[in-house]
Amino acid sequence: MSSTSLPPSPEQCLVVGFGGTCLDYLAAVSTLPEPGDRTQCRSMKIQGNGGAANTLTCLARLGARARLMSEIADDIPGKSILEELRADGVDTSFLVVAKDGQTPFSYVMVNQSTRERTCIFTPGFPLMEPADVSRGLKSALEGARFVHFDARYTDTAIVVAREAAGQNIPILLDAEKKRPGLDGLLHLSDYVVCSPNFPKAWTDAPSLPSALLSILLRLPKLKFAIVTMGEHGCLMLERSPDENPLMGEEDADSLWRSLEQEKDDSVARPMCIASEVVKLTANGLGTLTGRLLVGTAERIPPSELVDTIGARDAFIGAIIYALCMNMAPEKMLPFAATVAAAGCKEWGARTGLPFRTDPCLAPFLGETGYSA
């Protein structure tokens, strides 16, 4: 491969993330206790969590430059979060540290037999306000290739998103659930990754394909929308600039069903099944020129599956990395599924996040860490 055909080095890609972070006190137990009972902790871990923070940690381990905009307090949980992020190479110079406040934290009990978890969350204060970011915002976004939002602190996130959009920096949004102010972020976003329930809840569409179609029709700036479905993989709708007046229309639900039938359940590694570019329609919503892509999840043996905390955050981090490296969607979705699966094989949101040199990523990145 000639030097001119090599994709960009990941170190040249700066991703700025805005959103929440917290500290988890994780306890593994054989069974969750009944009210009034006691149980013995088999193992314990103290580790950071939070959507944006997890995603940026994933990006930093893959070799990208990661910068977090969030808020913690000057307390013991805050100092632990700060130390962990810095150890992973995340730029925390734009992290707001409140002198008088409380860093969010959670007590989490994980049933090792069923993988069920019980969480007691303690919110932090003060909440991040626009005044906390307005002064250094241009510096925080300087040189950014992408900006990522996990839809926390939406009033302040809108301020950051408007500045990013004004600088023509692409925005990827994690749309987990309907929140006040989320619509404003959606209209500024170039890419969105949704939780399983969000598309139908936001659009009132009867199916996932029709909901994704509705999202892209309502948000003309979006290049693609992905809905993650855990062990069932993901579904992606990609907008195409190609317009062909002779192209026929295809029902989005029917196309999805035909792609699902092409899955090979005997294959453990993630794979992608993509349609041709077509005119998609559903339930009289209108038409969109684009294509559907079905991504499968890695089939993790039960003996290797430890914890799914943070799996979606890892998936999103890998999607952003793939965009930085100009990966085609057919390669991007299996890559993101592989990164997410690696995180599920260790305890906690970040322990199993792979580094760029991890052997499981070699089929996608090769020995040098470049996209083939």
DSSP 233: -
Enter the tokens of residue 53.
């923070």
Enter the tokens of residue 195.
């939780």
Q: What is the mean pLDDT of residues 45-54?
A: 96
Higher-pLDDT residue of 272 and 366 is 272
Confidence of residue 58 (pLDDT cuts 50, 70, 90): very high
First vs last Cα of the chain: how many Å apart?
Answer: 9
Residue 370 is predicted with a pLDDT of: 46
Mind listing the pLDDT tens digit for each residue in 120-146? 999 999 999 999 998 899 999 999 999
pLDDT over 90 (residue 265): no
Burial status of residue 310 (CB atoms within 10 A of its CB: 0-12, 13-18, 19 or more) = buried
Give residue 300's Cα distance to chain centre.
20
pLDDT over 80 (residue 4): no
pTM over 0.85? The answer is yes
23: three-class secondary structure by DSSP: strand
